[in-house]
A and B are shown apart, each in its own frame.
Chain A
Amino acid sequence: MTFKYLKFWIRTAFLFLFRSGRSTVTLSLMVVMAVTVLIFLSALAVGINDAMIRNSVGLYSGHISGFSLPQSLDTQRLKIHGVVSVLKRISIPGILSKGNNIQTITMVGVDPAAELKTTAIWKKTVSGRFLKNADRTVFLSHQLADKLEVQPGDSVRFGLELNKNQIPFIVSGIYKTGIDYLDRGIAFCPFEVLPVKKHTWEAAIFIREGFEPESIIAEYRTLLPESAGFHSWKEMMPDLLQLIDLNYISMGVVTVLVFGVVSLGIACAFVIFILKNLREYGIMKAMGATPGEIGCLIVIEVILMNLAASSIGVLIGVVLVFITNHSGIDLTYFTSHNRYFVVSGVIFPRLTFFSLCLPPILALFFSLVSAIWPAAIVTRRKAADILRSF
């Protein structure tokens, strides 16, 4: 079949679709709806996973957690391509006491201003306030505060050993994250008031969207001494990683089921649409159009309609995702007690190449599959049989 000849059949298919008016519009609407819904559902699934990662790493740990970093290492050296910010932290074990109440804790020295800007732990304050630079204050978990029986404004003492070199601190605030390791034996204070000055440090490293933590870690390993260690959020939170995989799979199953149901409707409509034009195909056959050409005409009709309907569906889907990506979808009511949404329950649907391409491909695939049966009827029946039935 030459291009000129193919052009003739494409034109004929276009005229068939264009002049079928309402049938084409109705059938196209089904495809448009299916593609739009699928794109939005896929983007929503990606958005939910993004939110879980963002919430989990944004609260405290960052995408990458660095440890045993030498004291001489500057945070700037960790700010390589793809890294948004690096927060320095120094953890020292010690004893926090108030009167007869004594607790073994990890005191984490932080830069309060940087923490306020980058992490969300301060948002989990249940009483009092977060730290201020150079203030001799501590920010305690609610469990620790309960055990020590302290309130914001109370005085506590911290030392590396019991009853030895104890330094007084004022409780600035109490937080509650709902995450075990943060809510148990941790207290925060500004770097400047930490009793230890020489120490290796830890880092919470936040990376840009689209960058993989593993590739950043690989680059760090080439730049830094071997003693420096790094963990990605995937290593630190295998439960979250598993949940994301589960979410993708369940969303995939839902997507296929939804499309399966929709495609049945599309298939029925396609069968009716093609058989509606049976007389036309019969006339063409009587004029000498081969079964192959008639089959080709039907396939071109299906492809043309899908191209148009899928384009509109993709456009509407993209616009919907764009709007909801800017405004966000607030699901706080459903996520407020979920530890993967500790910071915010707002979801920002996001498009990926996969979520954008899969729905139109699925629509075309199901349409072509559903066109096989009516196309077989049309091509197999004799022109005289077809024309006799009208």
Chain B
Amino acid sequence: MIRVQGISKEYRSGRGRVRALTDVSFTIEKNNTVAVFGKSGSGKTTLLNCLGGLEQPERGKIKCFGVEIHSLSEKALCLFQRRNMGFVFQHGNLLSYLTVYQNIAFPLALNNFDKKAISKRVHELLEKIGLAETGPALPYELSGGEVQRVSVARAMAHSPQILLADEPTASLDTDTGRDLVQLMFKMGREHGCTMIISTHDQKIINLADAFLPLRDGKIEKEDG
């Protein structure tokens, strides 16, 4: 279970103080898929970053499977992230100097998997995402859809408990985006993963178990 209690986050920028999240609270049950939706600037990315430990909220608590992640030391938080979380970013964010194979293998190596286990798992994932032949390719050689599929495979490689996807289909056309979401949901459900996806796309929202509408950093209506 993921329990978020009254988190707030503020940024300082050239335009002064920008309140990204205000007193956001919700709970997500294990294995659920939640779509966070809202307009651009509504705080979707900030919320996901806070949930993933990439950003520290000024106020409030986030408990992921019993662990209050923002009370952890920096190192302990990193270790928690690498074991329990997977990220899919808007533009894939593959490591550009590593091949597709090495990108997927990266979280496994971070988690100290042995070479054989890594090879088996990476090949299995490449098959699943339909890119079995692209292991030796570098990210710049892939299309946008392929990059996102590799990104999903990388996020799922170490079978995390939580998958956070920040507008994964934003840079893709409708069909490719739909395929990607279906793939992500299929893989996530196979692994019993709790998924939180930020999106504008109504089709994705419809596929989720629950949704979380955000407006100006606040939850408009809570469901789940």
Contacts and interface: CB of A to CB of B under 8 A. Distances in A.
A286 B55 contact: no
A251 interface: no
Given A288-B83, A387-B89, 4 more contacts: A8-B109, A19-B97, A19-B138, A288-B80
A15 interface: yes
B75 interface: yes
Which 6 pairs show the lowest CB-CB distances between chains A and B?
A288-B82, A288-B81, A384-B54, A19-B97, A290-B78, A384-B49
Contacts of A286: 52, 54, 81, 87, 89, 93
A290 B97 contact: no
Contacts of B87: 286-287
A383 B52 CA distance: 11
Given A15-B98, A280-B95, A287-B110, A384 B78 contact: no
Contact of B97 (A4, A280, A382, A387): A280
Q: Which of A2, A8, A18, A287 has the most CB of B within 10 A?
A: A287
B85 to A, nearest CB: 7
Contacts of B138: 19
A275 B184 CA distance: 33
B102 interface: yes
A285 B52 CA distance: 11
A292 interface: yes
Nearest to A291: B74
What band does the interface of chain A fall in when counting residues whose beta carbon is under 8 Å from B?
Answer: 20 to 34
A288 B54 contact: no
A165 interface: no
Contact of B106 (A5, A279, A285, A287): A287
Interface residues of B, number: 30
Nearest to B118: A8
Nearest to A283: B93
Interface in B90-109: 93-98, 102, 106-107, 109
A290 B54 contact: no
A288 B112 contact: no
A20 interface: yes
26 contacts: A4-B112, A5-B112, A12-B98, A15-B98, A19-B97, A20-B97, A277-B97, A279-B96, A283-B93, A283-B94, A284-B95, A286-B89, A287-B82, A287-B110, A288-B78, A288-B81, A288-B83, A289-B110, A290-B74, A290-B75, A291-B74, A291-B78, A383-B54, A384-B54, A387-B89, A387-B93
Nearest to A12: B98
Nearest to A14: B97
B200 to A, nearest CB: 19
B79 interface: yes
Contact of A289 (B49, B82, B112): B82
Interface of B: 49, 52, 54-56, 74-75, 78-83, 85, 87, 89, 93-98, 102, 106-107, 109-110, 112, 138, 154
Contact of A292 (B75, B82, B93): B75
A148 B56 CA distance: 100
A257 B201 CA distance: 62
Contacts of A291: 74-75, 78
Given A15-B102, A19-B97, A280-B96, A290 B89 contact: no
Contacts of B75: 290-292
Contacts of A382: 54-56
Interface string A312-331: 00000000000000000000
A291 B77 CA distance: 11
Interface in A271-315: 277, 279-280, 283-292
B11 to A, nearest CB: 10
A132 B78 CA distance: 89
A16 interface: yes
Contacts of A5: 112
Contacts of A383: 54
B97 A384 contact: no
Nearest to A383: B54
Nearest to B56: A382
A47 B208 CA distance: 79
A281 B217 CA distance: 29
Interface in A362-390: 382-384, 387
B49 A288 contact: no
A16 B106 CA distance: 13
Contact of B55 (A8, A15, A284, A384): A384
Interface in A224-270: none
A384 B89 CA distance: 11
B49 A287 contact: no
A287 B112 contact: no
A20 B95 CA distance: 12
Contacts of B112: 2, 4-5
A15 B136 CA distance: 13
Interface in A1-50: 2, 4-5, 8, 12, 15-16, 18-20
Q: Which of B75, B80, B138 has the most CB of A within 10 A?
A: B75
B158 to A, nearest CB: 9
Contacts of B81: 286-288
Contacts of A288: 78-83, 85, 107, 110
A18 B49 CA distance: 32
Contacts of A12: 98
A279 B138 CA distance: 16
A129 B122 CA distance: 88
